[in-house]
Chains A and B, each alone.
Chain A
């Protein structure tokens, strides 16, 4: 295996899935890399295969072409080195309390003892400000709290990369805004690496330091935005970038190519 500096490498990945009638190509020859401590956002309209791509990185789908490498090692199946945070609220195990939900993967995947697992779980639950709810069962929590638990669970595993599949999409606008800020705050603390999927341009600009724009049918990388933070620091920069990205996404392929 070639030793490379990138944490995650996606090389010429084509993903296809079968429906009852046809073979659908979700992404075609997509390549990108994610470095350590990146907040990389996959952005695109629905149907651009961004969630499918994330699932492939998670190991749930096998690329029909190309390969995905994490720390130079080929991804061959789901594993705890790539923790997923899903959009759905039912991703927590309903028979376990908040604490047990965070502890469980630490015990089964990292083989920590109960004491070590509990200690680490409590630390991360405190980070997402849920200390009051450690013994609550998931069905008693609000949507935002459930997503916080899922994030704490993912972070407690200290994975190579955290894969987030539109984690805030099902939340109301106010909660979503707050969760975005909290995620950034957490990133400031621990500098974890995250690959984040969203269809909201504004969210991509708030969350990411790099944005990959995907075009639909089939998904291809259309453009890449680096140093996204620069837009947030200047006045009106974010709005301007949002406009630019919007134009890029809804332009024809030919025009998009000349723009680059």
Chain B
């Protein structure tokens, strides 16, 4: 019988040729800059700003559509005289209070839901009932129950945050793979230890999504609540600032108020949530 033949190709002979293959090439500075999402997005914002400025100059009617420069000027003026920071602070205080309470309640609900069948049923029924209900629709009722203070706004904020966070966290828990669950139980983990050390990190991508959605809902609800009913509570927030300036036909200030909402939203998204994402789900490879 013939033996199989083996021919060995010498790799050295190929590589030692004059025109060696470029295995790795340094990226040019421009390519490296363009790879950063922050830079790309900043460019986009600048372009949008330029379009705004150009269109506003063309319209030339500050009462209807103030230009970017007028808006910025109003923003700076109101920041320096202290009205805007004060409004932001009073909005933030209520927002954080409602957000924290809403998330805490959502956590309690989902832990109950993951451990007992009746808890699951309760959560599913309640989210199905209340999630589609606009928080702002509850405000008139809340005003009757809790009076004209921050209590009623916090109440509607909790309502707007809680269901979104609970729904996402719960579906995240349900999506944790059977293998990971078995691994956790193999370690003898039970009850709250099992939830915090296995389920929460494993479901973290969904939890994070829930927190982001909850945050956005909370902002919208707060601004809307202040716009509609902020008049009655003594020291209003940004919504009240917008409302007040609209009444005085100070449109650049209205724009400055809106701009503030946008800036805070961008800051929270990019500084807090993005950092959280980079340190957790991206690092773990659970999200690309």
Chain A interface residues (CB < 8 Å from chain B): 58, 60, 77-80, 82-84, 86, 88, 90-91, 93-95, 104-105, 108-109, 137-140
Contacts and interface: CB of A to CB of B under 8 A. Distances in A.
Interface string B172-192: 000001011011011111000
A91 B188 contact: no
Nearest to B180: A90
A80 B185 CA distance: 9
Given A93-B180, A95-B280, A137-B283, A105 B185 contact: no
Given A78-B188, A95-B201, A108-B197, A86 B183 contact: yes
What DSSP secondary structure best describes chain B's contact surface? helix
Contacts of B198: 93
B201 to A, nearest CB: 5
Top 6 nearest A-B pairs (CB, nearest first) are: A139-B285, A78-B185, A94-B284, A88-B179, A95-B201, A105-B187
A80 B188 contact: yes
23 contacts: A58-B182, A60-B185, A77-B185, A79-B188, A82-B186, A84-B183, A84-B186, A86-B179, A86-B182, A86-B183, A90-B179, A90-B180, A91-B180, A91-B183, A93-B180, A93-B201, A95-B204, A108-B188, A108-B189, A109-B187, A137-B284, A139-B285, A140-B285
Contacts, number: 64
Nearest to A87: B179
Nearest to B183: A91
Nearest to B280: A95
Contacts of A82: 186
Contacts of A88: 177, 179
A251 B140 CA distance: 77
Contacts of B197: 108
A91 B201 CA distance: 14
Contacts of A80: 186-188
B136 to A, nearest CB: 38
B147 interface: no
A60 B184 CA distance: 12
Interface of B: 177, 179-180, 182-183, 185-189, 193, 197-198, 201-202, 204, 280, 283-286
A128 to B, nearest CB: 18
Contacts of B187: 80, 104-105, 108-109
B253 to A, nearest CB: 46
Given A83-B186, A90-B180, A95-B280, 8 more contacts: A58-B186, A78-B186, A80-B186, A80-B188, A84-B182, A94-B286, A108-B187, A139-B285
A91 B286 contact: no
A109 B285 contact: no
Contacts of A94: 202, 284-286
Nearest to B189: A108
A39 B285 CA distance: 35
B117 to A, nearest CB: 16
